A and B are shown apart, each in its own frame.
Chain A
């Protein structure tokens, strides 16, 4: 079945450590996105990528970094510069152009900083 796979599902990190969240899709989608969700809140856009080797900052990119070396993969690194990294992280993908707003989401990765 086509879809988006995020790993790990749960992750614990000590303060000061970087951590990378994996996102892989086999939907042949061009665009990929990372969102962050805090308890009781909506989703906020961190980064998005429209094509390989290109990505753009979203609304809350500070303290995060991404890469897009392959169409299928869009990993997110939460750096030690992110002041409040404990959150639920969601990866999504879509086609380009008309229909780009129909996103397919992964199951999410829950990061807890100890």
Chain B
């Protein structure tokens, strides 16, 4: 699996967009980018995933660069409940869910 690099922490103001970067320069052509988040002392929650094209769902948007070496998770209007650790994971889609969770990015949304 490709290795990912995320900043250890970032702050965001409530109501503003939160842009979370992830570098995955060694990503292979068949590897997807997955995002999860973990609110303190809870189980992680799946957010979104994508291969090449930008993706959007009710929780967030995922922007993947054309060379696929980096991506950005966008929370369009951050709320206090979005305070969590966000994990970026790269893996082939048809593999078993043996996901490697790194340290992630601690996002703190402030009023």
Contact = CB atoms under 8 A, between A and B. Distances in A.
Interface string A81-92: 000000010101
Given A41-B103, A101-B34, A105-B44, A48 B49 contact: no
A102 B49 contact: yes
A107 B36 CA distance: 15
Interface in B1-48: 32, 34, 36, 41-46
A97 B32 CA distance: 14
A102 B103 contact: no
A25 B74 CA distance: 31
Interface string B57-101: 000000000000000000000000000000101010111111111
Contacts of B99: 43, 45, 101, 103
B49 A103 contact: no
Contacts of A106: 43
A111 interface: no
A104 interface: yes
Interface residues of A, number: 31
Contacts of A108: 41-43
A62 to B, nearest CB: 17
7 contacts: A31-B96, A43-B44, A88-B41, A96-B96, A97-B94, A101-B89, A108-B41
Given A4-B43, A35-B101, A101-B49, 20 more contacts: A42-B100, A42-B103, A43-B44, A43-B101, A45-B99, A58-B98, A90-B43, A92-B97, A94-B97, A100-B95, A100-B96, A100-B97, A101-B93, A101-B97, A101-B99, A105-B43, A105-B44, A107-B42, A108-B41, A108-B43
